[in-house]
Every structure is written in C-alpha cells, then in structure tokens.
Structure 1
Amino acid sequence: MTVAPKDTDLILPLLDAEWARIDLMLVLAEAMRTGVDLPESFSDEFDSQAKSVETARAAGSWTGLTTIAPRDALDELKQIDLDLLALAVAPVARPALGPRIHSLQPQIGGAFPGLPLVQEMLMLKAAGDVDLLFQRLSPTAPMVAAGLLRVEGSTPYQVLRPGARVIRAILNRDAELAPPPGANLSNQRGKWTELILPPQALSQLRDFTAWVHHNDRIGSEWGGKTMHGPLALFSGASGTGKTFAASVVATALSERTSEPWALYTLDLGRIMSKYVGETEANLNALLESLDGRRAILQIDEADGLLGKRGEVSDARDRYANLEVSHMLSRFERHNGPVILTTNLRSNVDSAFLRRFQLIVDFPAPDAAARAELWRILIPANAPRADRLDVLAVGDAVRLSGGSIANAAHYAAVLAAEDETPIDLPHIARAVRAELMKDGRQVRKSEIGFLCDHLSEDWT
C-alpha cells in the first residue's frame, strides 16, 4: 500500500540546511574561543551552506508556520527573523547542538541561545545591526507578536525560545517528552459506539472534537478570530460517563489527525498548595508544558478547583478569590483543549461558565441506555446463560454507567469463580453489592426480579 507523503515529510529535509548552517556557526564560535585555526576551505563551505539555506527557504522550508500564524504577520518577516527562529529551534530540532550552545554561554546556563551568543553567531557588529536585532525581538515585532518566538530573562542575558506551537508546526513533534508537571497520563481509550448518551450530548461531543481538529485551520487559512482552548464542561452525576467521554474524544482526535493524542488528568495534590502563589505557579508550569502538544487536559471535580468567589472578609478570602480569577484567565489563554468535569454545575463560578465553548450535560441513563450498557460492559467473550436478558436487567435496576461497569465486572468474577456462564444470580449479587455501597438497606423494589435469584436471606 502506497502512502502519500505528508507535507512535513517534504519540508523536514529542507530544514536540514538550517541546522547544518548553525553547526558551522558553532564551529566558528568554538574556534574563536579556543584559538583553533580553521581550514582554508571553511569559508567556502560556510558560504555554500548559506546559499543552501536561501534555496531551502525559497522552496518553502518554513511553510509549516502558515498553520499557526496569520498570513499578514508572515508577510512581514525578514531573513533575520528566520535566522533568529532557526537559532531558537535548533536545540530542539538537533539536541546534539544544545550542549554546544550551552558551553558557549556559561553565564546563561542553558541550551537556548542568549542574545550575546546570537549577536556573535549572526556576526552583528555594527550599531545598526544590533538595533535591528532588538527591533525584531520587541514585543510588537511580527515574530514575537504572533507567538512564534519568545524572549525570556532580563538584559543582558535574555534568551530566545521558540513558541510552543512552532515545534509541532515545523518539526511535527512535541517539544516536551516528559509528562507535564502536575498531571498523569491516562491510558484509557474508548469509541463512539461504546458511549451511551442521548443524541444531543453525543452531537455536542462530536462538535467539540471537530472544534479541536479545525481550530488552527480556521485561524490561519480562513482568517478567523484566534480562539484559544477550546474549553468544555462535562456536567452530570457521578458515573454518567464524563471521564470516559474524554477518552473517546482523545481517541477520535487520534483517528482524525492520524497523530496520537495524549489525555492527561490533573493531579490536584500536585497543583494545589497552601502557600500563597504556589498554586498559580504550579498551574502555569503545567499549562506551559502542555502548550503545543497534541494533548487534552482533563480536570475532574472542577467545582472544587473553580468554586464560586465570595465576599471578602479577610486576607484569606481575598487570596482565594484571586486564585480563582487567575485560573479563569489562565485556562482561557491556554492554547489547547481542556475538559473540566463536575457533578454540580451550580458550584462552578458563573464567570467561568461563560468562558466555555461547550457545556455538555450527562443525564442518568434510562432503561434502554442501561440495557445497552449491560450489553457492552459484560465481557464480550464471557459465556452467558440463555436466560440472561439485559433488557430486563436494565429495566429492573437503576444504576449509573459507572455502577453498571463495576457490577458487570463483579458478575464476571463470580461466574469465573463458579466456572459457569454469567447468569442472573451473579448479576443479582453484583447489583446488590453496588447498591449497598452507600451503607443503607437495599429494598426489594430497587432490585426488582433479581431478588428472586439471591440465595442469601433478604433483610
């Protein structure tokens, strides 16, 4: 089977000229520091590589930027802008260049190039050249304003870093490989056929998936307004499928884009802190690490994180309100999908509700939905007794999807222990155990005809 090459398969070899040129720049800088004489052929080799870079740029080596930046901003770029961007991307594109850059700027202590090294490598000696360098790195310069290049630190040791989405756009990979701080990778995956919800909820989930898929295209190709996120709120009682729906969206995005999408769940214990300012700092670090990744951040029990702001009576109340306000604005600025789940929508600050692109309600399953859940969740290859009617079971007992999943697995365990097909007595025991979890007495009316299949005394 022949597969058509992706755009990145054609562009990446063109970018090799950039990294080869930067390698020669480092050779020259290293020689000047150590006093090593370079061969006479070096000058010709350097000029030849510079011409290769010009040819590659003319052929579209930086075409990937069109997917993340407005056309008018790209039209304003000059050759020095691409030189600066190449230097910033080089330690990620070719990790072996990072230690060499680091060794040339011990005062900075990092692999991303600082302005002193940038000036040296680009041989910007005249006052006008240095002024041009600062002009192209000002906050309003096209490269910086479009988010393609970031300037960090303070003078004179400011450092150039690529924008979060640049790595994905031109190298087609994530900038970071380690899990983001404060989040755990979820390995759960699901399919649309396994998600039992009303048509409206399913339609909204598909819309959210499409929003994530086409967000960059609408902004870069269609000239639409730049939209961060998107943000979605999944609201419903425990066990109605909110967490599983997030895994379905991640699976669907992987299929749509032919690229793996990761699903990360927020670890509140590693984010929340009793010390002033630490919660915000932890959240910033998490979201910055997720920028540019093909990843969804899922936040369960979001009402506990983003509760309503109240009246200020002391310093603690003032800080709590500031903390929520920071989270509102920070999630809104995050360039990537975020899914928050809550059992009580009324507990979430109303100011935050207005910032969601979609709010999906997850109702408790009706009898037909419960029957379908039983059909799906009982292990597919497990033997079943002929009299096991999932329609009757679904109609008899009102359980959430999560409770049905637990009961179906419990029934399979009981059948495996008895070495018999899964039968109504196994289902009855499992359902009764699920209903008794809250510590109350279970009435016969709650279990319906299944009570006839319990061998132990009914109390």
Structure 2
Amino acid sequence: MNYILNYLKAQFNFQLDALFQSENPTEKPVFSQLDTNTFVGEFIIENRLSETDVIVLALALVPHVKPDFLSSIIAEYLPNGGELPEFGGIKSKNHRGILPTGETAQFLIAGNDLDARISFYTYLHNHSWLYQKGIIRIDAVSFGEPKLSGLLILEEEYIEKFITGKILKPQLSSVFPAQLIETDLVWDDLVLNSTTLNHIKEIETWLKFNDTLLHDWNMKSKIKPGYRVMFYGAPGTGKTLTASLLGKYTNRDVYRIDLSMVISKYIGETEKNLSSLFDKAADKDWILFFDEADAIFGKRTNVRDAHDKYANQEVSYLLQRIENHPGLVILASNFKTNIDTAFTRRFQSIIEFEVPSFSERLQLWENNLPKNISIAEDVNLKELSKKYEITGANIVNIIQYACLKTLEHNNKSINLNHLLQGIKKEYTKEGKMM
C-alpha cells in the first residue's frame, strides 16, 4: 500500500510542478513491479491493469486509507489557501478532507494538456477495465455540470477487499433491494421428479460453460447475453432451494429481490430501483432470483387510464433490462399464467415444480426426520405419504413442530400424534381440511 501511495504522490507532484512552473520539477514517476503481498497489488497484477487504471484505482482508494492525502498536497502548493479548479475534488458533509472527482483523475493523468485530457475522457469511458466492470464510477451530477466533476467512487465491496482482503457482500437496504440467500443443503436434499431435475441440470450446464461458448467458440455475436428461467409451482415445492443450490454448486452468490422495496407507487421509481439493481449486478456473476415475480412481471393490461399506461411501461422496461442482463435471472411464480407472455417467450427454460408424488413425499419424510432420535412404532411413513398430499416445505414444518413437542414433553421418540398435529396446523394455514 505504501508503494501505491508514494507513486500517487509523485504523480501529483509531477503535474503540479508543471502547473506551478517549479524551478526543480519532479520527474515523471515510473511505474514498477508491485508487491504481491498487498491486497491491492495482487489485484492489479492479477487483472493486468494499465498504468492509467492503476492511478485511477489508487486515487479512488486513497480517501479511505489516508483522509488528509489530497488536502495536504494542495496545502504544499497553496499554503495560504486558494482555488485550483484544475485539481477538481469536492468537500463532503462528513469527510474533512478533499474527495477526488473525475476531474482530479483527469488532472493526475493529463495535467493541463488539452489533447491528453480529451484522450483520458475517451479512455475512461471506452477502454478502462475498472470503469467497464463497474469497480470505479463517476457519480452523477446536476444537469449542465461537467460529467467529470462527479465524485470518483470505488465500489464498497472493493474498498473492503483492498483493506482487509475480503469482498464485502452488499446487504439488504433501501439502495440495494436484494438479500443474499444461502443453504447448507445439498442436491440430494432436493426431491423433485426426473423431468424437473433434468431442466435444472441444463441451467447448471449454462452456468459452467457459458463463457466458453461465447468467447472460446466465438458465439458472442449470435447468442444474446444471459439466461432467463421461470420456475412455477405451488409454494414449498423447492423453487428457492433450487436457486440456492445452483449458486452453491457453481460458486455464485444468489440474491433474492425484495419486491416490496422495488415497487413504488410513484411514476418512474420502480424502474429506477430496478435499474440500480441491474447496474450493480451486471458484472458480478450473481444469480438474481425474483420470488413471487408476478407482482412485478405480471400481464400488461388494456390502457384505460394513466395508471395502466405507466404500469405497462414498467413491464416493458423490465423486459428490456432482463433481456440484456448478462447473468442468470430466475423468475418464480405460483402460476405460469400470471406472467406476461412477453417474458415467457424470452425464457430459455420454463420449469414446473409439481407437488411431490407419493414416492417423493416418502423420500422427503425420510430425508428430514432427525437421525439421532427414534420414531415411535405407530408412525407409518408410507401411510402418511400416501394419505397427505403436502409439499416439502410442509413436511419440514411438520417435523419441526413434532420435534419441539417431543422435547417439550421429554419423550424418547417422535410419536404419531405430534406429527398429525403438525399436519393439521399446515392444513389449517392453507385453509384445507384433513
């Protein structure tokens, strides 16, 4: 980290000495081999960053490790205070130093050379690996202000990576309406019919070999980016677990979108919320899982008033974003017919999650009952499986209920009565009669 800071300081001195026509100007620093023992050095070498990207990265990182870095440099050249528009930078509400802007990066790379400044603008937007990957960005500015006057931002997860070595996974919040979902279960815990499992294996194959297909086989110009899948079926049939297992076994994070935080009654806000989410996910290799997706991807209606018009515009916008998203998007719904046909035509796969059959229910009972406590002799799992047509989620809830009752009464085994009570609770929740 010290080498990066010293190199950045020397680059500032080089440009500022030229601007102030110093009698003993600093020579242009030469970028040399980095120490791979630092997290930032390892990242730069691993991704073969250009010297320009290294400078921009260091500039975006410096306020987070040395808050007075930029203000102390300015003080050397303007000890009595004053303005230096070429330098860029802004003051914030909480930070007491100077925060870098795109203009600061432009000055650091190009100084006052007009052609070089224009070249940097072009480089940043068309060639910078950091900018293309969304690792650094320029914050939006008010209408009419120069774009590069926006704050130079390093994505939060990378700040954590360069300081601690660990990528900070985004948390559910008003600015990130999605939650990481994980599972300790394995594929064998997912009890589905063979047809559904085969369709799921197709998704896993895409996740493993998509990059090879697009780049090594040169199919990028012929195949649209991303993969769009619809899961439909009754609640509790394994849709969320399937998404979690796909992420687990392909080493990808799965984010379940909280639609309550996305949907807004205000015109344009829903699109804005989803745009922010898709922008953040574009280069992250995440799996996006929209549960109960018909709330936002439902059928478009005939236009009767302004509300219908904007609702239809929302669906059209979502269709466009999903179609252009380079990763895996899973929409889950209880009913296939609830989703607008404009979406279904663009899915690579539509997978039904059926209520488990007798044999599947039996397997679910056997898989989920605890192994370290016995089952009472009057419990006949085959009979329970045949008599009660319930889902895997129901069975897990019933077993949990029966286990807690067993512990409460200090019983030595799980008895039939407690299991039947649990089944009755599940039926009552769903408004069904036993």
Normalised TM-score (structure 1): 0.72
1:64 maps to what in 2? 47
Shift of 1:249: 1.6
Task: Name 1:96's counterpart in structure 2.
Answer: 65
1:437 is matched with 429
Cα deviations by residue, 1:93-124 (Å, 9 ceiling, x for unpaired): 66426874699633486998544323321244
TM-score (normalised: structure 2): 0.75
Residue-by-residue CA offset, 1:287-324 (whole Å, 9 max, x unaligned): 23334335332211101211111211211111010011
Q: Secondary structure at the match of 1:50?
A: coil
1:451 maps to what in 2? none
Residue number in structure 2 paired with 1:77: none
Shift of 1:247: 1.7
- Structure 2 residue 211 is matched with structure 1 residue 216: yes
Answering whether residue 287 of structure 2 is matched by residue 296 of structure 1, we say: yes
Tell me which moved more, 270-279 or 425-434: 425-434
**1:231 matches 2:218:** no
Give the corresponding residue for 2:381.
390
Give, in whole Å, the separation in 1 of the partners of 2:430 and 2:170: 42
CA distance in 2, matches of 1:346, 1:272: 21
Q: Sort the Cα spacing of 1:252 and 1:114 in 2 relative to 1 into closer, same or farther, 3 A.
A: same
Is 1:242 matched up with 2:234?
no
- Which residue in 1 is equivalent to 2:146? 156
Name 2:313's counterpart in structure 1.
322
How many residue pairs match? The answer is: 392
1-structure distance, mates of 2:44, 2:215:
18
8 Å contact from structure 1 (residues 237, 362) kept in 2: yes
Secondary structure at the counterpart of residue 288 of structure 2 = strand
2:255 aligned with 1:264: yes
Shift in alpha-carbon separation, 1:425–1:176, aligned structure 2, 3 A: closer
| CA distance in 2: counterparts of 1:145 and 1:409, whole angstroms | 48
CA contact (8 A) 1:190 1:251 kept: no
**2:11 corresponds to:** 25
Q: Does 1:424 align with 2:416?
A: yes
Q: 2:123 maps to which residue? A: 136
Report the counterpart of residue 194 of structure 2 in structure 1. 199
Residues of 2 paired with 1:92 and 1:370: CA distance? 55
Structure 1 residue 146, shift from structure 2 partner:
9.5
**Contact 1:108–1:157, Cα closer than 8 Å, also in 2:** no
Question: Distance in 2 between the 1:320 and 1:422 partners?
Answer: 52
Aligned counterparts of 1:410 and 1:145: Cα–Cα separation in 2: 51
Which structure shows the higher helix fraction?
A: 1
Match of 1:147 in 2: 132
Matched position secondary structure for 2:352: strand
CA distance in 1, matches of 2:67, 2:195: 50
Amino acid at match of 1:96: V
Distance in 2, matches of 1:156 and 1:17, equals 32
User: How big is the shift at 1:347?
Assistant: 1.0
Residues in 2 aligned to 1:198 and 1:91: alpha-carbon distance in whole angstroms: 54
Shift of residue 210, structure 1, vs aligned partner: 3.3
RMSD (Å) for aligned C-alpha atoms: 4.0
Q: Is this contact kept in 2: 1:382–1:412, CA < 8 A?
A: no
- Report if the CA contact (8 A) 1:235-1:361 is conserved: yes
Cα distance in 1 between the residues matched to 2:237 and 2:247? 18
Matched, 1:281 2:276: no
* Identical amino acids, percent of aligned pairs: 25
1:415 is displaced (CA, Å) by: 1.9
Task: Report if the CA contact (8 A) 2:8-2:59 is conserved.
Answer: no
Residue 398 (structure 2) aligned to one of 407, 432, 435: 407
Extract unaligned runs of 5+ from structure 1. 1-12, 54-59, 66-80, 255-260, 443-459
CA distance in 2, matches of 1:163, 1:356: 34
CA contact (8 A) 1:147 1:163 kept: no
